[in-house]
Amino acid sequence: MIIATNPTVEGEATAFYLQRMAQKHDIAISRIAHGVPLGGELEYTDQSTIAHAFASRQEV
């Protein structure tokens, strides 16, 4: 599973919840990393930035 939530308090809480649920079921998870600014909204991020974030994701 790839977690891609907005880097806001709500997005971080959702990502944390999803990580815990996935771990209970031994599901491999990763999260997008670089390129999406902290506090930014995914809907306003361009395609190149999203592509870089997916390419740089890290296992949680």
pLDDT at 45: 80
pLDDT at 34: 59
Alpha helices in the chain (DSSP H): 9-24, 47-55
What is the chain's pLDDT, residue by residue, as a tens digit (60 residues)?
998 888 678 888 998 999 999 999 999 988 876 566 667 777 778 887 788 778 777 676
Walk me through the domains of the chain, giving residue ranges and CATH numbers: 2-59 (3.40.1360.10)
Instruction: Note whether 54 and 31 are within 8 A (CB).
Output: no
pLDDT at 33: 65
Q: How far apart are CA 11 and CA 23, in angstroms?
A: 18
